Amino acid sequence: MQQNTITEQMTQAGQKIEHDSFAIVDQEVGTHTYSATEWSIVRRMIHATADFEFNGLTKFHPDAVSAGIKAISQGGHIIADVEMICVGLSKPRLSHFGVDTHHYISDADVISRAKAENSTRAVQAMRKAQHLGLLENSIIAVGNAPTALLEVIRMIKEDGLRPALIVGMPVGFVSAAESKHEAALLQDTPWIITQGRKGGSTLVVAAIHALLALAEQAAK
């Protein structure tokens, strides 16, 4: 397999550190139950957090990896629950595939509607994205707000929404584990989740960067 160029660190020193880190993760984990492509995602998540519990906590819909690669290769949208995900994703890597990112959590109309309806900004942000026609066939990335993930699940069940992939990894104590459990029950919508309370935007960014690398490999 050819070496990736677009989705690698920009310097040889950076590449060596990252590759050496991946090798340490591989060595310390040993055997695992993931496919090779799934493991490339989990390994990057462990690398980003130094938390080996994600070997096991990370779960995949059978079509998740292929769906993510396809969405990226076709230049799809990434809709995030928080700005942190959009900031964390590599602009050069995204632009190589023509992928753009969107978040609406801080928009004035989103805040006003959340106050008026006594809901959360995250719910209203996802509704705004849907109103703008951005959720269909997109990668929906949730790293912070369980209510965003629950709203997307509601849209799938009640409105017939069909995103390309859900990367659902909200962190926290209220509805975080429950929202991911509900996502994992979806059969026709691909998903990648972390079980339990653990999650976060850092993990979502790591997972998407791994998908970008897989998309680059698939294009060769």
Identify the pLDDT of residue 195.
Answer: 97
- Return the closest-CA partner of residue 199 out of 62, 68, 45: 45
pTM summary value = 0.94
Q: What is the DSSP letter of 137?
A: T
- Please state, for a pLDDT cut of 70, what percent of the chain lies above it: 99
Half-sphere exposure of 124 (CA within 13 A, CB side): 17
CA distance 82 to 90: 16
Q: Supply the mean pLDDT for the chain.
A: 95
Domains present along the chain, CATH in parentheses: 12-218 (3.40.50.10230)
- Please state, for a pLDDT cut of 90, what percent of the chain lies above it: 88
Task: Return the number of other C-beta atoms located less than 10 Å from residue 155's C-beta.
Answer: 20
Out of 19, 32, 47, 102, pick the active-site residue. 47
- The pLDDT-based confidence of 1 (bands split at 50, 70, 90) is very low
Identify the pLDDT of residue 193.
Answer: 98
CA distance 216 to 140: 20
Tens digits of per-residue pLDDT, 130-139? 999 999 999 9
Identify the pLDDT of residue 16.
Answer: 86
- Catalytic residue check, 47: yes
Tens digits of per-residue pLDDT, 56-106? 999 999 999 999 999 999 999 999 999 999 999 999 999 999 999 999 999
